[in-house]
Structure 1
């Protein structure tokens, strides 16, 4: 193709790979040759020449949950913008056996690195028992950006939600948490407890649903109503809040007249509830993008830093809270 375009092989490589350095006339000549010769990149040859496959492996647990599914979208979009494709492997649980099998499968398929989107409490322990021969980064709910992990500060998110209710005058604030085993559940409960302690307010045992679904939120809210309602309630996710609002409405509890509610996630569904939910935005898409960039940094492809405030949670006020 270089001979056909009348340029060097290095020039063709720069133009095809979008690295610049060629004049507009030369670039046009190379692109015309690409079209006329119907050139298609040979991924095997490129991998041999560069020692890179341009493939990223992604291990995911439970895509039905909002956070890993949105993070995966961010990973895929950021990978595409860097000329990488993603190879997806799902795992049935976060065990040494399941993760080991997934890592071996991706490594055999020749990937430059692996991202793990399985934000469970047992992930770090399981990974510590496994050997790795490729760079690996985890999506870590509850933490920020580390050398080999990226996450949104969900402890802070729960603090922001609780702080909002305290600022409105609420002193009895209960917590509808997340299901057992999820790192997000632990982080969000920790944030609620921390903010309550900072204001010297007593806490009641949080209610714990079986999963993140609206149905679980509905059932858990019914149980909370039987125990007696506080004046304020922090709900661990918008999906749980959808079910909880339905339960409260069916039991004649008016939000926010009888109970002020703040949820976490800041998903689009919050805006369209009755009343629109006050929620704390957690930008999982940006977290996925940051995780991919962190992996590419380890691989030696990208050094673009993530802005310090990019992953900070922020309150989106709806109509589900009031001052007391």
Structure 2
């Protein structure tokens, strides 16, 4: 079989797949002893690998020393501040623990793409996986898959509870909402994030829970897309009626757009409208006025995520899985309503 390959290069996983008559994902599963592979398929793939003398470099290193010292990160959205900060925190915590990080970014969240990304990570002989998947539909797929290594999910609701670690988004949203209510606001709007995002759903739930607990009438939250452009558009539309004195934005970028729209209308922040965000992005302190927001401790999230994963990998004492508590950061964009 080796005669069928160019002599100028070493055999690849795709060569093995072609000669064995299977997909490269199947070869990956064979390499990682995935339980779903039939014995006959496994034997055929292994025979081709033996004939080609195929040895993945990373896998060979892992076999020689028993461990790969590599953690995989499956990210379904690395462009937003929250997921990007989570990845950075995990990389720092992994480096401190003597591990490398291999990240697979999903450009699509269909089942085939998710399975292919997991196979890619498994091919790197990762010892554990962190799943940063803000969209609910990613978890629909994960629940159907058998992941052969320990993993932790950075999610905010009750699904896959035995693997989850998160910042308490509901509590953070309640902090933001209570802050506005304590200032005297009773006409409060919520600009939510995309409907499929777990964090957006949790923050919307926290807003509604706190409004209900304080017996404050609510209007239906407005579904946004996390961008400042949408915040500006929503602000322009809301100001046509102006039946509110405060807006809780589900993230700081949309809050920035809202503030732009309010100023364009000739209104004062917070004199006419108070605005509060969520995340505390680095620029939030430099908005004008500086933005009141909810801060998430991403460094702590990364540290505890790695501690959980390493405990699972080494069968060590289990790290506490309680949610990380966010913090209200009060700045100049919120104040009492003008009556």
TM-score category of the 2 structures, normalised to the smaller one: 0.7 to 0.9
2:334 is matched with 321
Unaligned segments of structure 2, at least 5 residues: 1-56
Structure 2: distance between partners of 1:149 and 1:94: 19
Q: Confirm whether residue 312 of structure 1 aligns to residue 325 of structure 2.
A: yes
Alignment partner for residue 90 of structure 1, among 105, 109, 112? Answer: 105
Cα displacement (A) at 1:303: 4.7
Contact 1:142 1:152 in 2 (8 A): no
Equivalences for residues 227-246 of structure 1 within 5 A: 227-246=241-260
CA contact (8 A) 2:187 2:243 kept: no
Aligned position for 2:137: 122
Cα contact 1:148–1:294 (8 A) shared by 2: no
1:199 corresponds in structure 2 to 214
The CA RMSD measured in Å over matched residues stands at: 2.3
The 8 Å contact of residues 143 and 152 in structure 1, kept in 2 or not, is answered as no
Counterparts of 2:309 and 2:244 in 1: how far apart (Å)? 45
User: Contact between 1:185 and 1:236, CA under 8 Å: does it hold in 2?
Assistant: yes
The SS at the match of 2:239 is: helix
- Number of matched pairs: 281
Q: Deviations over 1:208-232 (max 9, x none)?
A: 22x2121121112212212424112
Q: Which residue of 1 aligns with 2:230?
A: 216
After TM superposition, give the deviation of residue 301 of structure 1 in Å: 6.8
Residue of structure 2 in register with 1:8 after alignment: none
Whole-Å Cα distance in 2 between the matches of residues 277 and 302 of structure 1? 42
Equivalence for 1:59: 74
The correspondence of residues 169-318 of structure 1 with structure 2, limited to 5 A, is 169-209=184-224, 211-300=225-314, 303=317, 305=319, 311-318=324-331
| Contact kept in structure 2, 1:222 and 1:248, CA below 8 Å | yes
For residue 67 of structure 2, give the secondary structure of its aligned residue in structure 1: coil
Q: 2:154 touches 2:166 (CA, 8 Å); kept in 1? A: yes
Does the 8 A contact of 2:165 with 2:322 survive in 1? Answer: no
Check if 1:103 corresponds to 2:118: yes
Q: TM-score, normalised by structure 1?
A: 0.81
2:169 equivalent among 146, 149, 154: 154
Q: Write the deviation string for residues 246-295 of structure 1: whole angstroms up to 9, x where unpaired.
A: 11111112110001111111222111111111111112332233222211
1:69–1:321 CA distance, 2 compared to 1 (3 A): same
CA deviation profile, 1:139-188 (whole Å, cap 9, x unmatched): 11356995311110111111000001111111111101112211111001
Q: 1:289 to 1:232 in 2, by over 3 A?
A: same
Q: Mind listing any 5+ residue stretches in structure 1 that lack a counterpart?
A: 1-41
TM-score calculated relative to the size of structure 2: 0.77
The equivalent residue for 2:40 is none
Deviation at 1:49, TM superposition (A): 5.3
Distance 1:302 1:94, change over 3 A: farther
Cα distance in 2 for partners of 1:98, 1:44 equals 23
Distance 1:316 1:145, change over 3 A: farther
Given that 2:77 and 2:132 are in contact with CA atoms closer than 8 Å, whether structure 1 keeps it comes out as: no
Call closer, same or farther: CA 1:288–1:146 in 2, change over 3 Å.
Answer: farther
